[in-house]
Amino acid sequence: MKPQKWRYILLAGVTISFSSYSIAKKPNILFIVGDDMAVSDIGSMGSEIKTPTLDSLAENGVRLSHFYTAPNCSPTRAMLLTGTDSHIAGLGNMGEFMQPEQRGKPGYENRLNERAANIAEVLKTSGYNTLMTGKWHLGKSEEHSPKAKGFDRSFVLIGGGASHFDDMVGWAQEPKASYREDGKLADVPTGFFSSEFYTNKMIDYIESSRPSDKPFFAYLAYTAPHWPLQAPDEWIARFKGRYDQGYEEVRRQRLDKMIKLGLLPEGVIPNQPMFSGLPTWEQLTDEQRRREARTMEVFAAMVANMDYQIGRLFTYLKKIGEYDNTIVIFMGDNGPAGNSPANLGGGAKWIAENFDNSEANMGRKKSFIDLGAQWAQVAAVPSPMYKGFTTDGGIHTPAIVSYPGMPNKGRIIGEVAHVMDVMPTVLEVANIPQPGKAFGGREVLPIQGKSLVPAIQGKKMPERVIGWELFNRRALRKGDWKLVMNDKPYGTGDWELYNLSRDPSEAHNLAASEPEKVKELHAAWDRYVQENGVILAVPKEKPGARTCQYGHCYQ
């Protein structure tokens, strides 16, 4: 009997790639994460940005149209690596917004804790070389670095964001970015550009582990296209003039393409309230339009460059004969970043005093610009809001699954999927058992995610309940129904109810007309809080507390 062979890629702003492998040889596993990428930022998901590497995966696979993450980066990454809820894994809240009643409580350590077994640990005990480059954001100290969490080799940005060039600029409270290689503090080299360097470093790590009978697990966590938006000049030049049409026209183009691709139903109307609360393209001055167009040119350059770097990695894996034996997962960590860092923690003053954001320098070294609320709404189309919110604009990212020989290539799967599902999916495909109650000399909680293999095979998944909470913003999805609570002015400040099968843009609040459904989902929410140890607290400051552009504020 011939050994079974598989090849597979899951992609998203998630892409899983189950690569060809014999059951006699364990597959390599590769996670790739883009930072602050929206549903429509990939060409095959609606974007005008050319992403041929990722698009080729879609052409030879299936797209998951309902893939969810957390509203922000580090909670998502904790769930990706553990398959458990972020309130279990240590990122119940982000450290920057931790409240007094949460500090020191289980699940609020602001680091990847020991309550769940992470995938690097699991794969290492299963005979894998474990490698990581890019953004960590799951613990600052050496004892909480990737080196201490099961990775054999690692070069990581410790915090949530930094300059993409070699000046190592961090953020207002930590002006110099910190990096660690194999647990020890490190500097980036002269000529550093984040996406290129992290790719080169990962190729070096894989190459240095050869020849070996061990497979590798590689976690490549890009910081693109997280602010500050920066890219090499030659990449920015590729998009010169592309966004002079403005917000409304680019949004229309993306929406039309998503409908044409079958990702959205005919007749869907965007529900994006900030388009009326903030200045339209016509209301901007000529200079403001140029600056906004330049901002999006830089963003697009970052996405296109990242796609190119992924292509380089795939080319290398093919050269060494490992691509067809590699499970690949590409995903975004949350929705687009519409919250300007200038509105957080003294950011406006720090940026004004330390950077050259002149029109000529935008996107270059020593500039510090961000996407802004209007472009973020374009990217999140048709959903309201963006990163930091529990509306679909903040938690819905694309997913594509591809493998050679797949029947009905190009189809779209509408099953609900979640970032917690990635770990159990990969373990099933690689024929590795999930960790038991006792693991690594400690007691661990079970994986909460579900394997997506049935959905990938075209089967119906059982109805499931998924909960969200971050910054006291809340949501719960059960089947087609979604319960949402966001603070004013972004929501009503009370529970809202939507039927996403009939209303994919969360435009029609049914809470008043469907009180029994609200009651049912609210009871499920209470169970979610209890089971995951959620500690509700109203933060004194949170992303989106005030959204302003050019003198107009949505607040």
DSSP string, 425-469: HHHHHTT-PPP-SEETTEE-PPP-----HHHHTTPPPPP-EEEEE
Question: What pLDDT is stored for residue 259 in this prediction?
Answer: 96
Query: Of 66, 87, 137, 164, which residue is the catalytic one?
Result: 137
Query: Of 66, 73, 396, 418, which residue is the catalytic one?
Result: 73
pLDDT at 4 over 60: no
Whether 459 is covered by a domain: the verdict is yes
Q: For 84-139, how does the pLDDT look when each residue is reduced to its tens digit (9 = 90+)?
A: 999 999 999 998 899 999 999 999 999 999 999 999 999 999 999 999 999 999 99
User: Poorest-confidence range of 4-18, 95-109, 407-421, 480-494?
Assistant: 4-18
Whether 519 is covered by a domain: the verdict is no
Whether 207 is covered by a domain: the verdict is yes
Over the chain, what is the mean pLDDT? 91
pLDDT at 1 over 50: no
**The domain containing residue 62 runs over which residues?**
8-464
Whether 132 is covered by a domain: the verdict is yes
Q: For 286-317, how does the pLDDT look when each residue is reduced to its tens digit (9 = 90+)?
A: 999 999 999 999 999 999 999 999 999 999 99
Question: What pLDDT is stored for residue 20 in this prediction?
Answer: 38
Tell whether pTM > 0.75: yes
Which SS3 state, helix, strand or coil, does residue 492 take? coil
Whether 323 is covered by a domain: the verdict is yes
Question: What pLDDT is stored for residue 6 in this prediction?
Answer: 39
Q: Which pLDDT band, with edges at 50, 70 and 90, does 237 fall under?
A: very high
Query: DSSP label at 323?
Result: G
Whether 166 is covered by a domain: the verdict is yes
Question: What pLDDT is stored for residue 542 in this prediction?
Answer: 61
Annotated active-site residue 396? The verdict is no
- Residue 50 sits in a domain whose CATH number is 3.40.720.10
Paired sense of beta strands 179-181 and 153-157, if any = antiparallel
Average pLDDT, stretch 341-353? 87
Give the chain's domain count: 1
Whether 311 is covered by a domain: the verdict is yes
Residue pointed to by tokens 């680091």: 111
Whether 486 is covered by a domain: the verdict is no
Tokens of 513: 């007309």
Annotated active-site residue 137? The verdict is yes
Residues 6+ apart with CB under 8 A from 519: none
